[in-house]
Structures are given as C-alpha cells and as structure tokens.
Amino acid sequence: MNPEQWSAQFGERITRTDAATIRRYCENVSGLQRRIAAVLYPESTTDVQGIVRTANEFRTPLHPISTGCNWGLGSKLPVRDGAAVVDLSRMDRIHEVNERHGYAVVEPGVTQRKLYEQLKNTNSTYFLSVTGSGPETSVLGNALDRGIAHHGPRAEAISGLEVVLGNGELIRTGSGHFAQSKTTYLYRHGVGPSLDGLFCQSNFGIVTKAAIGLIAQKAFHGVLGCTIDADGKLPALVDGVAALIRLGILEPSVHLSNHQRTRSVVGGILGQRYADHYVKQILDEELRGAWSLSCPLSGTPAQVKLAHHEARAVLRRIGEVTLTTDRTLRVAKAWCRILSFLPRLRRRSCFLDAIEPSYLHSKGIPSDTALASIAWPLQDRTYAPGTDLDATHSGALFVLPVVPLEGEAVRQVMEITEQVFASKHGFIPYVTLNSASRHSLEAVINLLFRKNDPKEVDEAHRCVDELVRVLMGTGYVLYRAGIQSMGHVVDSASPYWQMIARLKDVFDPNHIIAPGRYNFV
Ligand SMILES: Cc1cc2nc3c(=O)[nH]c(=O)nc-3n(C[C@H](O)[C@H](O)[C@H](O)COP(=O)(O)OP(=O)(O)OC[C@H]3O[C@@H](n4cnc5c(N)ncnc54)[C@H](O)[C@@H]3O)c2cc1C
C-alpha cells in the first residue's frame, strides 16, 4: 500500500507514514535494522478492533507496542520486516485505583510516571513496583514482555486482561467475561482454563486494558545491603540469600550487581553533574566491592528489625552488611553537608545524592537515572537526561537467562559470560541478577557498544549471539529474548512450538499480530 492508501484504509486521524516518523520508530539502541510500513495510533479499544479487522482484510502484519521502550531487546521494532507498528501510547487512561484491594486498572499507554503521580496525588496507601527503566515506560507493556520490577515479576501481578485477538474478537480473561463478576481483578484464573498467560510474550492479540497489582505501604521501610570484596564470594552470597528466602526472612526481591554495573549506574548520574576526574575519584573511594546486594525490607519496625538481625547473622560472614532507611540516608546526608568543608565528605555527599534514586526505586518512585548507565561508560555525549536512548550513539544488547538460585549455577553463568564477553570478544559484562521467583534469578547481562562504529556493532551482535547459544546449550534458557534472538528460543521442529503455532491459528488465523514474536509464525 502507498501512504495515501494507508490513511484511506486506517484513517487519517491514526495513521502516519511520513519518512520522519518511520525513521524515528526504526531508531533503536541495539543497532538493529528492520523495515516498518506505517505507524498507527489507536485511541480506544474500538480503534484497535478497527485496525485489526482492516489488517485482516489487507493481510497486513501489525506490531503492537505500548510505549516502545523495549531497550536492549528491540525497542519499537517488530521481529520481521514489513509490519505496521501499532503504538498504544495514546490509550493512557487509568480506569480505577482500588484502595481496598490494591490494584489499578490501566490501558497500555499508562506509564510508570503517570501511575506513580496518580497514586501520590491521591495519597494512596499503595505504590507501584517500578522497574529500573525510565518513568515513561509502560506498566502493561513491561508486564506483557514479562519484565521484572523492583518487587518482582510484573506478569504475575496482572489480571483481568481485555484483549483484541488477531481475528478482531474482543475477549476478557479471568472472570471478566461474566458481566456481573465482582472478582475480575481479585482472582486472576476465573473458572475453567486460564488464558492470561497466553498473552504475555506472545503474538495472539493486542491487550487493551488490565489490572496491575500494587504494593501496600508499610509502617517501616528499609533496604538491606551486602557488599562482597571478591567475585569468588558470589556463590556463598547467593546461597546465603537462598537460605534466607527459604526461611521467609527475605522476600524474593533481591538484586545483585557486579562492580561494573554499579559503577556505570552511579557514574552515569555523577557524570551529568561533575568533571570526569572528580567522578572517578568518588567512584574509586566509594565503590570497592566486587558485587553488591540489595533487598527491600518492610513491615512494622519490629518485623524489619528482626529480618535485618537474622539476615545480618547469615550474611556478615560473607560481606559487609548495611541497612539503609529514610532516616539513615537523611542523617548521613546531613552530616556530609555539615562537614562539607572536608573534601572527602563533600565527595561522599555527592555519592549519597547519586545512590538515592536506587533507594527510592524500592519505594515505588521511578526515575530515568539508570538510563545514563548505558551512555556514560561509552563516553557518549549524545545522551542527556530526557533524550531518547534510541536516538543516541550508545548501543546496548541484553542477554537474559534465568538461573537457579544456587551459588554454583550463578558462578557457572558468570564464568561463561566472562569467557564469551571478555576473553573472546573484548566486551565488559555489566550484570545484575534479580529475583525471578523464589527459586530463580534473571541475569541481566548487558553489552554496551558504540552504535556509530559498524565494526563494533557487528562484534557486539556476534558476541551476544554466541553467549545466547552457549547459555541455552548449557541449560540456562532465556526468560526473555531480543528480537534478533527469537531463532534461539523458537524451534519449528519442537512439539512445544508446533502447539504454539497451532494456537496462533486459533487466535489469529491470518497471522496478523507480530509475526515471529515468540513463535515461528
Ligand atoms: C537502563 C535500563 C534499565 C532497565 N531496567 C529494566 C527493569 O528493571 N526491568 C525490566 O523488565 N526491564 C528493564 N529495562 C528494559 C526495558 O526498558 C523495559 O522492560 C521497558 O519497560 C519495556 O518498554 P515498554 O514498557 O515501553 O514496553 P513496550 O516496548 O511497549 O512493550 C514490550 C513488548 O511487549 C509487547 N507488547 C507491548 N504492549 C503490548 C500490548 N498492548 N499487547 C500485546 N503486546 C504488547 C510488544 O512485543 C513489545 O515489543 C531496562 C532498560 C534499560 C536501558
């Protein structure tokens, strides 16, 4: 179809085919190349249904995005060339915030910032578990790609999905299809086979509304920290954490970062405020650990005190244990200010300001501070806060295997990563490990490269491809894949994926929605 035909078929109000728009949607932080045909901006579920029906008529593939910030995994791009991107960001209504049961019913365009602000402005007793990605990312988009937020996986917190299927039909999951249901957002399975899971990491439909569970604010909140001084202690730290989770002392929302990752996050923040040599001095003084752990602790003061005490008893044999609270942070900052005539404490004050956003994440306050961690190590001056990461010279690719919560497994994954990244391809692995369940961690292995250097782009992609292959071959299956890695997770010879392809025929017989996304059709 030519541009006029697109507008004629899908409507002028929601269709863009101009070169500038197409270019903007093709820009991506991962150095990927895909062709897209148009960008469509529905404003309602009815618009989405209209788009899907027309797409069926013309056999036009559609790639739905909520806000399209899927950085490191493909950004706004489809898996295959030729789709029209359906950008749902105009559908950004918060239909309900339920203060009794703690959920919000939202559309795909609702961002972390929008929901955070609504909860704050209404003095809600709940908060959203935020991701480390930017405030303008989508709550539902992240959940539908099975993203992991500070207090755990988002996909497990969504319920009552409203979905426009690939054939244009509208369905509601759980008990939402019973007109009088009082429990659509309270009991996600409904009655009979549960369909919710079919719409995460899938290409069966476009989700237009769902509830996201919120977290109740507690009387007392803190963050347990533990820093180890050598990589060799990581297995013991992981096993210590696993034991504490098993005993119910820690919640399964632990986060571990290697030295390079912590340095890139704190350096990224400081780098926007101070000269390079000063930033380096602060980082060298403050960040000595090989790995650092953080885990939110909240409850009554007595509960937090007890959990801290028990966790400390286990972890202090392995590393240096801390507890950060509003009060400890406030007092430390005040002392540093009072004694700021001492250069060492002036630098410490800068450091405390830089780590505060990470602490605030644990309380549901989103920020874009971590985004600078992509550009800062590359010394990319095209990035500044507020810039679209996709439009900079910075390159990032994520490899995301799920790893058993066992010291030995984590050691092996890190050994493989070091071998492939550093020894073979010359890249630094920036790694975080986050709870994916009570028994597993997602490893976020981040490769940074200069996107304006074609050779480096090529090397980065070969490195990631090799790491994915080796990890999958060793049994560390990805929990989420970049669009360039679908071939590593989907196998047309496997009975499992053949069944997924048959389901595609049920929901989307003309293969309209996101061809190739977690599917071979
Ligand atoms: C520094 C940094 C930190 C990050 N931290 C985190 C983190 O802590 N946790 C995390 O999970 N990610 C993280 N990310 C990765 C990413 O930025 C987030 O996952 C982000 O939320 C995804 O973008 P989005 O919310 O705009 O979702 P989208 O890009 O809109 O959606 C993601 C995918 O889901 C599908 N999809 C979206 N909406 C729909 C719909 N309505 N119907 C059907 N399918 C749909 C599409 O295939 C789409 O490609 C981070 C990235 C960076 C660079």
Query: How far is 364 from 151, CA to CA, in rounded Å?
Result: 9
Band of pLDDT at residue 465, cut at 50, 70 and 90? very high
Pocket test for ligand 1, best of 36, 47, 65, 513 (most atoms within 8 A of CB): 65
Band of pLDDT at residue 47, cut at 50, 70 and 90? very high
SS (H, E, C) 59-83: CCCEEEECCCCCCCCCCCCCCCCCC
β-sheet bridge partners, residue 224:
295, 323
Return the residue whose CA atom lies nearest to atom 2 of ligand 1: 133
If you average pLDDT over residues 60-88, what whole number do you get? 98
- What is the value of pTM for the model shown? 0.97
**pLDDT tens digits, residue range 479-497?**
999 999 999 999 999 999 9
Helix (H, G, I), strand (E, B) or coil at 336: helix
- Residue 2 pLDDT exceeds 90: no
pLDDT at 198: 97
Band of pLDDT at residue 218, cut at 50, 70 and 90? very high
Instruction: Tell me the CA–centroid distance for residue 305 and ligand 1, in Å.
Output: 35
If you average pLDDT over residues 368-375, what whole number do you get? 96
| The residue count for the chain | 521
Band of pLDDT at residue 512, cut at 50, 70 and 90? very high
pLDDT at 4: 80
If you average pLDDT over residues 56-74, what whole number do you get? 97
Name the average pLDDT for the chain.
97
Tokens of 275: 């000269």
Query: How far is 29 from 388, CA to CA, in rounded Å?
Result: 9
Q: Which residue has the tokens 């697109």?
A: 6
pLDDT at 5: 84
If you average pLDDT over residues 357-377, what whole number do you get? 97
Output the CA angle 55-517-393, nearest 5 degrees.
100
Query: How far is 64 from 42, CA to CA, in rounded Å?
Result: 10
Q: Is 137 in the pocket of ligand 1 (CB under 6 A)?
A: yes
Q: Is 377 in the pocket of ligand 1 (CB under 6 A)?
A: no
- Residue 322 pLDDT exceeds 80: yes
Q: Is 144 in the pocket of ligand 1 (CB under 6 A)?
A: yes
- Residue 95 pLDDT exceeds 80: yes
**Chain centre to alpha carbon of residue 198:** 19
Pocket test for ligand 1, best of 144, 146, 262, 400 (most atoms within 8 A of CB): 144
Output the CA angle 398-399-401, nearest 5 degrees.
140
- State which amino acid sits at residue 324: T
